Amino acid sequence: MTRLCGWGRTPTADASVVAPSSDDEVAELLARGPLCARGLGRSYGDAAQLAGGTVAQLTGLDEIGPIDEAGVVTLGAGASIDALLATALPEGWFVPVTPGTRQVTMGGAVAADVHGKNHHRDGSFASHVESLRLATPRGVFDVSPETDPDLFWATAGGMGLTGIVTRVRVRLLRVASDVVLVDTDRFDDLDGVMAAMVEGDARYRYSVAWVDCTAAGARTGRAVLTRGDHAPAGAEPPRAPRAGRFGVPFVAPPGLLNRLSVRAFNEAWFRRAPRHAVAEPHSIGSFFHPLDGVADWNRLYGPRGFVQYQFVVPDGAGETVRVVVERLARSGLVSFLAVLKRFGAGDPGHLSFPMAGWTLALDLPVGADSLPDELDALDELVLDAGGRVYLAKDARLAPSKVAAMYPRLEEWRAVRGRVDPEGVLTSDLARRLHLVGR
Amino acid sequence: MENAFGQPQSVVVLGGTSDIARAIVRKLCAARAETVVLAGRDPTRLAEAAREAEEYGAAHAEVVTFDAEDPASAGPAVAVAFGRAAGPVDLVILAVGLLGDQAAMEDDPEAAARMATVNLTWPVAALTAVRTRLLAQGHGRILVLSSVAGVRVRRSNYLYGGAKAGLDRLCRGMGDSLEGTGVRLQIVRPGFVRTKMTAGQKEVPFTTGPNEVAEYVLRGLSSNTPVIWSPPVLRYLFLGLTHLPTTLWRKVAAL
C-alpha cells in the first residue's frame, strides 16, 4: 500500500499503485477490477486516488514522438508538459494550453480539460487535441472529435472515468522565441482590474490577475494584472534569468501560513509589482509556471494541507466574484494568491469546467473551523449565479450540488455506460461526488 | 468517502443513543453524512436518534439493536450494522459505556463485572470486528469515546475509569498497528460532560456539553490527531495530574 494524496495533501488514500508500461498492460489492469488513473498527482483533491483500491500510475507511458510540420505531435499519456517543452521549445513550438504548473501529464490535461492564461482566446486543452487513444473495459479506441464526438468530449474533462488515455495527439503553437513580452498593471480595487480585463483582454493572448483577498477595507480586491504574448524572434532576453530551484524540504509546522504571514507576503507581492510596465521580457517559466520554481511548495501549508477553491460564473455575474472576495476578506480566512481570469466560451466537454465568464481560484489552508461551512456558502453563491466549481481542484463539494453545476452529468453517464457498463473506472472523487456508483 | 476535512459520508455508531454520539452525528449529518447506522440497546431511543439524524440531513438512518452485556453479540451486531450501511463505511464511532453508581457496585461482584463488560469487553470485541472490516475495505476511521477518567483513575469511579483506561490503552496500540493501512483510529478523551449519563453528579472545572465535545471531535477528524481532548486544555492539565505524587493525587481526586 502506498499513501497517496492530491496536491492539496488532503484527503489521503492508501492504495496499491501499479505502473503499466504499455497499452496491453493497461488493458490487463482494466480486466482485473476497479481502477483509478493517476499522472503526476497535481489535481488538488481526490481525483487521482482510490482508497483501498488499485491506482494505475501512467507516468511510464512518457514517449514523445516527432513534431510534424503542422506542429502535431503524438505523446504517451504520461509525458509531462515539462518534458514536451524541453523537446518542442528548441524547435520553435509551444504547448497550446498550459496550466500554472508544467508538471502535469497529457492524460491529466485531457482528463481535467485544463485551461491556461489564454482560455479567453484559445479555449482549453482538449480543443487542441486531434485524437486520443482510450483504453476502456470495452476495448481500446482511437477517438477524435470527428470519429466519436460523444466519447471524445465525455473524456475531455471526464476526470479519467471514461477510460484510461494512453496516447494523445496534440497541435502545438508556433512561437518565434522563448521569451514572453508582458504588460503589468496594478489596481487598487477589484472593479478597476475587472474593467481593464473586460476592455483589454482581447488584445492579449495571455491574461491573468492576482487578487489580494486579505487587504482590508477600501483596498479589498486590489490586484496585479499581467498580460502578454510570445515575443518575436530576436527579442531582448529577460533581464533577470531564473535563479536556482528552491525546495521545501519538509512539511511546515501548522500555522506557518497564518493571517499575518500571508498578509505580509501579499503586501510585498503587491508592492513589488510595477504600477504600469509595458513589454517587459519574461522567461516562459517565470510567466507561466512561477510556483514550479519552489519544489513541493504545497508543504508550506502544514500537515493538514489546503484546499483550492476554484469556481467560474457567467459573464454577467462579475458581481459574484466581488461578493466572494469581500466575504473572504471579512471572514478572516487566509487566502494566499487568489487568481482571477476571464474565460472564453467553453468546449463541448460534458464535464469540462470552463464557461464564458470569470474564474477565481483561492488557496485556503485547512484548519479554520469555519472553512467547510464558508465554502458551502460560496457554493450557493456560485450556483445562484449559474456557475460551477472545478472538479480537478475539488476535495469537499456536496454531492447534491454536482448535477446543478454540471447539468450534462446524466448525458455524460450515458456515454460512460457505453464503454464502462460495470463501473470499473473510478476514483475517490467519483465515489465522493457519486459521479459513478459507490 | 471522506472529504478534505475528514467529514464522512457513511457512519456506523455503536452506542447510538449516547448524548455525545448524538451530538457528533448531528454535526456529521449537517456536514456530509448521508448514511447513518445507529446501533444500541433501546429501540425507542434509537428510533428517536435516527429521526434526528434525518432531520439534520442524513438521507438514510438505520437502527440495529444489541446487548452490550453480552460480548458474543458484538461480532454479529457489527456485521448487521455494516450490512445496513450498504456500502463502504467511512467512520465507526464507538460510544458504548455505562457509568453507574459505584458505591452501589463496590461490594457486588456481578455489577463490577458488568462494568468491565460494557465498558471494555464488549467494545474490544466490537472493535476487533470493525478493524477486520475496515482493513478489508482499505480505508475508514474509528473514533473511540474514552474518558479522562481513564487517564488517572480516581477512587470514586475506579470501575468506570479502570475499564476506560484499559480501552484507551488498548486503542492506542490498535491505532499504531493500523499505521500504513489506510485505516485510522482516534481516541476522544472528554472531561466531565453534562449528559443523561452524568445527571445529578457534581460538576468539575472544564465541564462541557455534548455539543462542545462534538466540535472538538470534528476538528480532530480534520487534523487526524490520535487523541482528541475535550476541551483541549485537559491535555496539559492531565499531564500534570498523572505526575502528581499519590498522596497529593488522592487529595485532588477527592475534591
- pLDDT at res. A250: 85
Burial class (CB in 10 A: 0-12, 13-18, 19+), B186: buried
**Residue numbers of the domain that contains B247:** 10-254
Judge: A13–B31 Cβ closer than 8 Å, yes or no: no
Q: Does A8 touch chain B (CB under 8 A)?
A: yes
Q: How far is B87 from chain A (nearest CA, A)?
A: 7
Q: How far apart are alpha carbons A100 and B31 in whole angstroms?
A: 31
Cβ-nearest to A51 among B32, B182, B223: B182
Residues sharing a CB contact under 8 Å with residue B77, sequence separation 6 or more, in sequence order: B14, B39, B64, B66, B126
DSSP state of A253: P
DSSP state of A47: T
Cell representation of residue A307: 484546499
Q: How far apart are alpha carbons A309 and A289 in whole angstroms?
A: 19
Q: Which of these ranges, A97-111, A210-224, A228-242, has the smallest mean pLDDT? A: A228-242
Residue B4 lies in a domain: no
Contact status, residue A364 vs residue A307, Cβ threshold 8 Å? yes
Q: How far apart are alpha carbons B26 and B89 in whole angstroms?
A: 17
Cβ-nearest to B181 among A1, A11, A396: A1
Hey, is B14 helix, strand or coil?
A: strand
Instruction: Compute CA A84 distance to the chain's CA centroid, rounded to the nearest angstrom.
Output: 18
pLDDT confidence bin for A244, thresholds 50/70/90: low
Contact status, residue B38 vs residue B44, Cβ threshold 8 Å? no
Per CATH, the architecture of A179-397 is what?
2-Layer Sandwich (3.30)
Q: How far apart are alpha carbons B38 and B46 in whole angstroms?
A: 7
pLDDT of residue A147 exceeding 90, the answer is: yes
> What is the average pLDDT score of chain A?
94
Preceding amide of A303 cis, omega within 30: no
Cβ-nearest to A432 among B9, B180, B223: B9
Cell representation of residue B78: 457489527
CATH topology of domain A72-175: 3.30.465
Residue B199 lies in a domain: yes
- Residue in the block written with cell 453524512: B33
Residue B81 lies in a domain: yes
Q: Does A428 touch chain B (CB under 8 A)?
A: yes
Q: Does A209 touch chain B (CB under 8 A)?
A: no
B74 vs A247 pLDDT, higher one: B74
Q: How many CB atoms lie within 10 A of CB A71?
A: 18
Residue type at B148 in one-letter notation: V
Q: Does A45 touch chain B (CB under 8 A)?
A: yes
Q: How far is A28 from chain B (nearest CA, A)?
A: 22
Q: How far apart are alpha carbons B149 and B164 in whole angstroms?
A: 7
Contact status, residue A37 vs residue A111, Cβ threshold 8 Å? yes
Instruction: Compute CA A138 distance to the chain's CA centroid, rounded to the nearest angstrom.
Output: 29
Nearest C-alpha neighbor of B43 from the set B18, B14, B17: B17
Tens-place pLDDT, residues A253-281? 887 888 788 888 888 888 888 999 999 99
Q: How far apart are alpha carbons B218 and B224 in whole angstroms?
A: 10
Domain boundaries, chain A: 72-175, 179-397
Q: How far apart are alpha carbons A98 and A289 in whole angstroms?
A: 9
Judge: A51–B1 Cβ closer than 8 Å, yes or no: yes
- pLDDT at res. A264: 85
Residues sharing a CB contact under 8 Å with residue B173, sequence separation 6 or more, in sequence order: none
The pTM score is: 0.96
CATH number at B184 reads: 3.40.50.720
Residues sharing a CB contact under 8 Å with residue B44, sequence separation 6 or more, in sequence order: none
Q: Which of these ranges, A134-143, A334-343, B234-243, has the smallest mean pLDDT? A: A334-343
Tens-place pLDDT, residues B70-129? 999 999 999 999 999 999 999 999 999 999 899 999 999 999 999 999 999 999 999 999
Contacts of A362 in chain B (CB under 8 A): none
Q: How far is B34 from chain A (nearest CA, A)?
A: 10
Identify residues of B whose CB sits under 8 angstroms from chain A CBs: 1-7, 9, 31-32, 34, 87-88, 137-139, 180-182, 215, 218-219, 222-224
pLDDT of residue B11 exceeding 60, the answer is: yes
- Residue B142 forms beta bridges with which residues? B92, B185
Q: Radius of gyration of chain B from Cα atoms?
A: 17
pLDDT of residue A243 exceeding 60, the answer is: no
- Residue in the block written with cell 450501511: B85
- Residue A186 forms beta bridges with which residues? A224
DSSP result, A108-170: HHHHTT---TTHHHH--GGGGEEEEEEEETTEEEEE-TTT-HHHHHHHTTSTT-S-EEEEEEE
Cell representation of residue A184: 503589468
- pLDDT at res. A242: 52
φ/ψ of A364, rounded to 5, equals: -130, 120
Q: How far apart are alpha carbons B246 and B251 in whole angstroms?
A: 9
Contacts of A49 in chain B (CB under 8 A): none
Tens-place pLDDT, residues A370-428? 999 999 999 999 999 999 999 999 999 999 999 999 999 999 999 999 999 999 999 99
Residue B1 lies in a domain: no
Q: Tell me how many domains chain B contains.
A: 1
Cβ-nearest to A372 among B1, B5, B181: B5
Q: How far apart are alpha carbons A307 and A8 in whole angstroms?
A: 6
- pLDDT at res. A247: 81
Q: How far apart are alpha carbons A389 and A391 in whole angstroms?
A: 6
What is the value of ipTM here, to two decimals? 0.95
- Residue in the block written with cell 473511540: B144
- Residue in the block written with cell 469581500: A326
Residues sharing a CB contact under 8 Å with residue B115, sequence separation 6 or more, in sequence order: B98, B100, B105, B159, B160, B163
Preceding amide of B231 cis, omega within 30: yes
Residue type at B20 in one-letter notation: I
Residue B24 lies in a domain: yes
Please calculate the CA angle A34-A38-A43 and round it to the nearest 5 degrees: 120
- pLDDT at res. B128: 98
Contacts of B215 in chain A (CB under 8 A): 369
